[in-house]
Structure 1
């Protein structure tokens, strides 16, 4: 299962941008898992950890890593079974560098790029305040949002630097509308996929996985046979 991380502060527009990616015909092989949505389902269904999750969210805190991993894997497994897609856009994860490193050690997942949405604290506060007028979340009151923003800058921003140093970070401003943000992001995603193909055609055999990633990210169905792969390599064909 191939994973692409999506990160940003509360109200930065992660959900809207993830939804926009999912409706883009160029990325029809992508499915979406929001760790926040997965946890809210557990609360609404009155699961065994529901009270703990609800209180933790109200306090603006994070669940223990073992709990997050359990529900994250549960969410991924459910989406893969429902959609048959194996390229997953993870919304709101990882929150800390140790989480990123531990998740990347799991053999069942191939972690690729991370998307970061830059948004000012003032804009995040404005959006979360407006969100309360349309629907209520346990973690959307002002005091909790301020605590979540503080945690974001203290713990999640270093995650961006972790991916940036590895040249795996795609970052754009999300101060504008969702469409304006996606207009910045879409070509960067496209270039990233094309770049991986270009690197492969330069001759390094180790980038075969990246070729499969690009196809999975767009179509999710193309798996070249060894014969097809040889023809593509010889011809330098575009996929």
Structure 2
């Protein structure tokens, strides 16, 4: 089974590349943003629990997030593999994901990290904001903060997978198809 963590800061191109990877490799897309919207919208038990934390202004605990990921994996019937987009965000989540997958007889094949210079990220996010309707994609302070949070809290996850020999860094600047080809070359080695 092919299980990929697509990794990188906001604006690195994860969404664009994950769509192409899903199509080529027939992977199930697991995005925590999508999972939150689904569970909150459907009012599931996990959604209600997440809402409780969010309403109190707290982060949703890893156990709840992992529960949503487990639910998605269990609901997936075609098992070519998964692409994790925007998850795991912390080393604790990465460890919990490894444990979850191990129980299911599989593991992360590799993490592909899209490496993009900060100024390019800011430019891309502002451009995306013109069409996305997301006000936070137009606010310079919010953009800086999202990149800062990524560097401080999420970037250590790359080190976790690097220690396992599962990290591949891809220069994420250039044409979409050019970057896609580089990613596929890495995946085809798994």
TM-score by length of 2: 0.80
Q: Offset of 1:2 from its aligned partner?
A: 5.5
Separation in 2, partners of 1:36, 1:54: 17
Q: Does 2:131 align with 1:134?
A: yes
Please give the root-mean-square deviation of Cα atoms over the aligned residues, in Å. Answer: 2.7
| CA–CA separation in structure 2 for the residues paired with 1:55 and 1:23 | 39
Q: Which has the larger radius of gyration?
A: 1
1:90 alignment counterpart: 84
Q: Is the 8 A contact 1:32 1:88 kept in 2?
A: yes
Residue in structure 2 matched with residue 102 of structure 1 by the alignment: 96
Measured against aligned partners, the alpha-carbon deviations of 1:23-47 in whole angstroms (never above 9, x if no partner) come to 22xx23x221111222234455575
Change (3 A) 1:75 1:144: farther
User: How far is 1:150 from its partner?
Assistant: 0.8
Which portions of structure 1, spanning 4 or more consecutive aligned residues, are displaced by more than 4 angstroms?
Answer: 42-47, 50-56
Instruction: Structure 2: state its 5+ residue gaps.
Output: none
Q: 2:108 matched to which residue of 1? A: 111
DSSP-derived class of the 1:110 partner? coil
Q: Across the two proteins, how many residue pairs are aligned to each other?
A: 182
Aligned in 2, Cα 1:77/1:177: closer, same or farther, shift over 3 Å? Answer: farther
Report Cα offsets for 1:51-92 as digits up to 9, x if no partner: 855996xxxx953212221222233334x14xx224111111
Q: Is the 8 A contact 2:22 2:83 kept in 1?
A: no
The answer to whether the Cα contact below 8 Å between 1:54 and 1:138 also exists between their aligned partners in 2 is no
Aligned twin of 2:165: 167
